[in-house]
Structure 1
């Protein structure tokens, strides 16, 4: 089956599991490292609306940005994880770029690949392990319905409850739920997320209601 390409302007549920029954995260430092790498590789090309990191899997709800390009500062114009810091990011109208030979439209799939490879390198070095950590290719589902968008957000935030890590989502630190109900600065698209639920009070109320776990996981092929 063909893997769906990530198209600019679209919303996607991005998710993946560890391979071979291994854990992706052992300590708080592991979670923090993954989120830091996520910000480095994914934030330039996608807006994030919800996320959760579990011990052996994760979920993200993102929207791929439009009119994003980057200009190379390295001479040969190559792009890999090692030279990622040399890239000058711009959001622009690609039709009026002054120097098209030095401009490249990012491939979102490549950015996720850099994220996973960079984290695997960190993890394997730290714990003396080897091999691939994430299922390949990573899974993605196009979300083109507002009601399902809201269901997916509730599903993502309630994942720790569903898997028995806590009794209420307030108790779990590694999801975007706490950012959504907080007033602290965040790169999460908090205002849009809460706005989809009308207001913060209704956001909390809807998250306390039963989530259609079986229906959603069947749709996600989990």
Structure 2
């Protein structure tokens, strides 16, 4: 992964971000359950030390992670002559680590992901609208993805997202219900109803 890639990402402590990428040329990233589990293990190793995860979903050819950056602003990681915040470095390791695993397993070479992993700062007030809260819509949109892509007819059928956790169908997850209550006003009783609300299409341009 190039240093130019890293320079395109910069996280600020306590800001909320939507991080997402897809397979290069939309190629498939996960072929088996073990592939999904490997990517999840890399999230635990490389992202969780520097962020609280609010929402996440892995799809066959892309992924979404909504998180709150929590590293100290004085921390940095040096790579050659460049310095990066630890969360940017964690995303770099997530992408490069999984790419190495995938290429080795499937006897392939070359780029697995698109060159730029996007990190949209949801703390930016310019993303707030009078009637639509971008941050809250993003939380639900990420969880809706398996339905939007026709992978399941019921979101509870999709294992590789935070949906089951927030719906009370899974006990443990990356996420914390205490944090999501603060960030997204999460209400477990209303969650099944609210998660089915459709995010306005004009807010989806960069997803």
TM-score range, shorter chain: 0.7 to 0.9
Partner of 1:39: 44
TM-score normalised by L of structure 1:
0.76
Matched, 1:54 2:63: no
Give distance in 1, aligned partners of 2:26 and 2:53. 27
Partner of 1:185: 172
Aligned residue for 1:122, secondary structure, equals: helix
CA displacement at 1:55 relative to structure 2: 0.5
Aligned residue for 2:104, secondary structure, equals: helix
Give distance in 2, aligned partners of 1:44 and 1:68. 14
Matched, 1:135 2:114: yes
TM-score normalised by L of structure 2:
0.81
RMSD: 2.6
Give distance in 2, aligned partners of 1:79 and 1:184. 39
Q: Is the 8 A contact 2:180 2:186 kept in 1?
A: no
Q: Is the 8 A contact 2:162 2:173 kept in 1?
A: no
Give distance in 2, aligned partners of 1:67 and 1:186. 24
**Deviation sequence 1:25-64 (CA, Å, 0-9, x none):** 0000000000001110011111100000000001110111
Total equivalences in the alignment = 190
Aligned residue for 2:49, secondary structure, equals: coil
CA displacement at 1:159 relative to structure 2: 0.8
CA displacement at 1:107 relative to structure 2: 2.9
**Deviation sequence 1:110-146 (CA, Å, 0-9, x none):** 1101111110111111110111111122111110257
Give distance in 2, aligned partners of 1:180 and 1:192. 12
- Would the alpha carbon gap of residues 198 and 123 (structure 1) be closer, same or farther in structure 2, given more than 3 Å must change? closer
Runs of 4 or more consecutive aligned structure 1 residues displaced over 4 Å after TM superposition: 77-80
Aligned residue for 1:123, secondary structure, equals: helix
Matches within 5 A, 1:79-158: 106-144=85-123, 147-158=133-144
Matches within 5 A, 1:177-216: 177-182=163-168, 184-194=171-181, 196-212=184-200, 214-216=201-203
- Would the alpha carbon gap of residues 78 and 59 (structure 1) be closer, same or farther in structure 2, given more than 3 Å must change? closer
Partner of 1:175: 161
Consecutive unaligned residues in structure 1, runs of 5 or more: 71-76, 81-103
CA displacement at 1:173 relative to structure 2: 1.0
